[in-house]
Amino acid sequence: MSEKFKAIVLNQSGDKFSREVQTIDKSFLKDGDILVKIEYSDLNFKDAMILKNGGKLIKEYPRIPGIDFSGTVEESNVSDFKKGDQIIVNGSRVGELYHGGYSQYARVKKEFIIKKPEKITTKQAMMLGTGGFTAVLCAFAVKAREDLLLGEKVNEVLVTGSTGGVGSIAVMALSKLGCKVSAVTGKMSHSEYLKELGAENIIDRKELEAEPKLLDKGKWDGVVDTVGGNILANAISQTKHSGIVAACGNASGNKLNTSVIPFILRGVKLWGVDSVAISKKRKEFIWGEMSKLIDFKILEKSIKTVGLSELLKIFPNMLEGKLSNKILVDVNK
């Protein structure tokens, strides 16, 4: 390893918050079992909040942000990993409590790392990142209805925030799993793209923004919701008997104005999904399924690759809902 490398460093002194690409020394990296030469990271909503002002998630400065990364082991003090292993890191509060992926090197604990499945590349892993990982967690949560109902098929599913990082992968994964996907979007101009991902119907977000009824016509066997608020409340009241609503996001807000009626009259299940505190075993399972569920050729069309300096210029667009590409970060660009 060269002694010096590039990373985005966040700092706070009093009210003054700063973010810049710095050349730093490897002594900057704190203790961990494994030194990784990073190849790729990505941009998630959480990353954008952290880059803006720490997002109340960073407790100690200076901090290298970036909640996901992929790369190659350079040095290892543990027998589970050896030099040359290709790895993926997501969740475990890397980029928040620990230095993260917007850097050419990271030092991490062995518990945070999984070996990259052979059938995907380090680049493909970060084309998905936490967003894609969460989407597939949600897709399996929705499909769990089939086990609960002893094989009754999950057919009609709804995905909200469908052009987003989580939503778009949920559309693709659920369609690959054999579901008929209806995609809710505020960007009707992206309908063709959503159809290419596998959506059969496109629903204008406005249709789900009104005050929810106590119980609406049951339409969905399952829902993946990334936005919260009235859209989630409407999705719950439109869910069929025993349907599972996997809620993972709050892109439209934290409030949820619903009632007990869909839960007690229809047995609807609201299934919260968290991608951060996930066992290594489940991470290995989800990443191992990606090659079966994702068509990377289609996904590639929506990817924009940036280096660390360009990332600092474009991240605010994500917070303003103005990004129509998934951002892949090539830390060596």
Ligand X SMILES: NC(=O)c1ccc[n+]([C@@H]2O[C@H](COP(=O)([O-])OP(=O)(O)OC[C@H]3O[C@@H](n4cnc5c(N)ncnc54)[C@H](OP(=O)(O)O)[C@@H]3O)[C@@H](O)[C@H]2O)c1
CA distances to 153, 177, 233, 266, 281 from 142, rounded to whole Å, are 11, 11, 17, 16, 20
Burial of 296 (0-12, 13-18, 19+ CB in 10 A): middle
Site residue total, ligand X (CB under 6 A): 31
Q: Mind giving me the DSSP string for 167-203?
A: HHHHHHHHHHTT-EEEEEES-GGGHHHHHHHTEEEEE
Single residue of 51, 139, 174, 227 touching ligand X by CB under 6 A? 227
Report if residue 205 touches ligand X, rule: CB under 6 A. Answer: yes
CA distances to 42, 51, 98, 136 from 307, rounded to whole Å, are 10, 15, 21, 27
Kindly state the smallest distance separating residue 241's Cβ from ligand X, in Å: 26
Single residue of 76, 185, 234, 238 touching ligand X by CB under 6 A? 185
| Cα dihedral across residues 43, 49, 50, 51: positive or negative | positive
State the DSSP H helix or E strand holding residue 131, giving kind and residue range, or none if neither.
Answer: helix 122-148
Span interacting with ligand X, options 10-18, 225-233, 256-264, 302-310, rule CB under 6 A: 225-233
Report if residue 212 touches ligand X, rule: CB under 6 A. Answer: no
Q: Which of residues 9 and 232 has its CB atom nearest to ligand X in the complex?
A: 232
Single residue of 76, 90, 162, 182 touching ligand X by CB under 6 A? 162
Tokens of 193: 């793209």
Kindly state the smallest distance separating residue 325's Cβ from ligand X, in Å: 10
Report if residue 187 touches ligand X, rule: CB under 6 A. Answer: yes
Single residue of 60, 80, 274, 295 touching ligand X by CB under 6 A? 274
Span interacting with ligand X, options 51-59, 172-180, 246-254, 287-295, rule CB under 6 A: 246-254
The answer to whether the beta carbons of residues 311 and 43 sit under 8 Å apart is yes
Kindly state the smallest distance separating residue 46's Cβ from ligand X, in Å: 5
Report if residue 35 touches ligand X, rule: CB under 6 A. Answer: no
Report if residue 167 touches ligand X, rule: CB under 6 A. Answer: yes
Report if residue 100 touches ligand X, rule: CB under 6 A. Answer: no
| Cα dihedral across residues 310, 126, 184, 254: positive or negative | negative
What count of other Cβ atoms lies within 10 Å of the Cβ of residue 131?
Answer: 27
Report if residue 252 touches ligand X, rule: CB under 6 A. Answer: yes
Q: Tell me how many degrees the CA angle 295-297-300 measures, rounded to the nearest 5.
A: 110
Tokens of 106: 């990271």
Kindly state the smallest distance separating residue 82's Cβ from ligand X, in Å: 30
The answer to whether the beta carbons of residues 122 and 291 sit under 8 Å apart is no
Report if residue 44 touches ligand X, rule: CB under 6 A. Answer: yes
Report if residue 166 touches ligand X, rule: CB under 6 A. Answer: yes
CA 229 to chain centre: 19
Span interacting with ligand X, options 7-15, 39-47, 148-156, 237-245, rule CB under 6 A: 39-47
Binding site for ligand X (CB under 6 A): 44-46, 130-131, 134, 161-167, 185-187, 205, 226-227, 231, 248-252, 273-276, 318, 321
